[in-house]
Structures are given as structure tokens and as C-alpha cells.
Amino acid sequence: MNNLNDPPRWNIEPDQRGREGGDGNHWNYALLVPMLGLAAFRWIWTRDSQNEIQKVKVQYDTDVSTIKSEMESRYRDTLTESRRAVATLELELEKEKQRVKGYQQALVSHSQRLIQERKQLEQEREALNDEKRKSVKSGIAGAALRDALEREASWYQRAAATLRDLEGLLVERQNAYCSLIQPRDHRLEMEKNMLLKVVKDPVAAELGLESDLKDIFKRDKHCADLMNMDKRKNGSLMWVYLKYWQLQITLQRHRRAEEAVFEGRTQSPEK
């Protein structure tokens, strides 16, 4: 069997020829080969590592460039959508401004028309008063007219009571419109009940108040400031209509009395 402690030519031995310190001994060759191998390994490993690093850098730059391009594209798309949305909102806002302006102009025009009608009614009332005074001076005709006016007093009182009720309901309706806490459905229910009331009431129907109420509900959007505690400071168009209605029932009373006198439905005190 082989001696493991002394394998043949496995161990590095000094030069058997007795040369000491020579450059060509086995010891120097034995060290040179591993060092050359290690150097070659390090050179190969370094070159491969540099190649891998370079590949990673190139891939990283490529990925970063791709992500940057995608983010820029998304940013441009988002910016375009935002600008489009802003343009759309500005267009809608301009439309709303024009619509509000149109409402305001219509309200001013309608208010002016009501004022003109009010002036006309006042002129007609003044003319009727003149006729009344002339009739009173004429004796029998004046007495007949006074009698007719007395007979129409009950109708006038009913009409005035109807207007007072409508005034209170309109004040409450406008307060509900201006309130920040009362629901819209509650106000709509109030408007519906008011329209039913004027349709069923003979006096209101005779005065034709239904269309006037609808006009108020549609156009009267005036509210006092938020700190206001007086409900009667709300509304604008409704107060014009209320004055117009009051003049209307006064004029209607005189017309009804005149018709009664002309048609002989009343008698003077001398008869």
C-alpha cells in the first residue's frame, strides 16, 4: 500500500541535487501557477462583472427613459383633460351668467309693466272717484251708486280677506324659499296648496290670481341678508303683485256697482 504520509513525488521537496536558492526549483513553480490562475480568474471575473454592470446600467437607463416617457405622456394627457374640463366649466358658467342676466332683465321688464298697470289702475280709480263725486252731486244717480257700493261691500270684504290670506301664505312661501334649512319639497307643497286655494275660491278665480301666482313662484328670487329676522323683507315681485291686486279689487268693486246701477239692479232711496 502507498504511504499517505509520503506519496511519491507529491510533496514539494528541496532540490535533491543540493542547489539552494536556485530560481528553477519546484517551490517557485508551485507558487507561480496558482498566482497566474488567480490573476486570470480575477481578470475574467472583473471583465464579466463590468459587462454585467454595463448591461444593468443600460437596462436601467432604458427603463428610466421608458418610465419618464410614460409619465410625461400621462402628464400631458392629464393636463389636456384638466384644461378641457376648465374650459367646459367656464363655458357653463358663462351660460349661467347669461341666463341669470336674462332673468334679471325679464324681471325688470315685468316689474316696469306692473308699475305701468298700477299707474293706469290708479288713474282709472281716480276717474271713477270723479265719476262717483259727479254722481253724488247729481242726486238720485249718486244715491243709487252709494247703494250699489254698499251692496258690493260684502264682496269687497271677502276679496280683501282673500288677499290678506294670500299675503300671509306668500310671506311664508318666500321665507321657505330663502331658508337654508327648509326642504325644497316643503316649499313646492306650499305653492301647490296656494294654487288650489285660488282655483277653488270664487273671488280669487274672478280676479285671475292663478297666473300671477305662477309668475311669482317662477321669478321672485329676492331674499334679504342672512342675518335678517323679518320674513316680510323677503320677496320683491310678490309685493308689487299684492298692491296691484288691492287696486284691482277696489276697481272691481266700483265696476260691479256701476253695472248694478246701469242694469237697474239697485234702487235709489227715493223709490
Per-domain residue ranges of the chain: 115-262
- Cβ atoms of 226 and 165 within 8 Å: the answer is no
Give residue 98's identity as a one-letter amino acid code.
Q
Chain mean pLDDT for the chain = 76
In the predicted structure, residue 11 carries a pLDDT above the cut 50: no
The pLDDT assigned to 30 comes to 63
Please check whether residue 221 is in contact with residue 177, taking contact to mean a CB–CB distance below 8 angstroms: yes
- Identify the burial level of 198 via C-beta atoms within 10 angstroms of its C-beta, where 0-12 means exposed, 13-18 middle and 19 or more buried: buried
pLDDT for residue 267 is more than 90: no
CB 209, CB 84: distance < 8 Å: no
DSSP structure class, residue 219: H
* pLDDT interval class at 189 (50, 70, 90): very high
pLDDT of residue 114: 82
pLDDT, tens only, 206-237: 888 899 999 999 999 899 887 888 889 999 99
* Percent above pLDDT 90 for the chain: 17
pLDDT band at 73 (very low <50, low <70, confident <90, very high): confident
Q: pLDDT band for position 25 (50/70/90)?
A: low
Q: Rounded CA gap, 93 and 139, in Å?
A: 68
**pLDDT score, position 147:** 62
Separation CA 26–CA 117 (nearest Å) = 134
pTM over 0.75: no
The predicted pLDDT at position 196 comes to 92
**Of how many residues is the chain composed?**
271
pLDDT by residue (tens digit) across 125-147?
888 777 766 655 555 555 555 66
Query: Cell numbers at residue 215, please?
Result: 309668475
Arithmetic mean of pLDDT, 178-197: 91
CA distance linking residue 70 with residue 64, whole number of Å: 10
Q: Among 106-110, 114-118, 137-141, 203-207, which is the least confidently predicted range?
A: 137-141
For residues 20 and 53, give the distance between their C-alpha atoms in angstroms, rounded to a whole number: 49
> Average pLDDT, stretch 34-49?
72
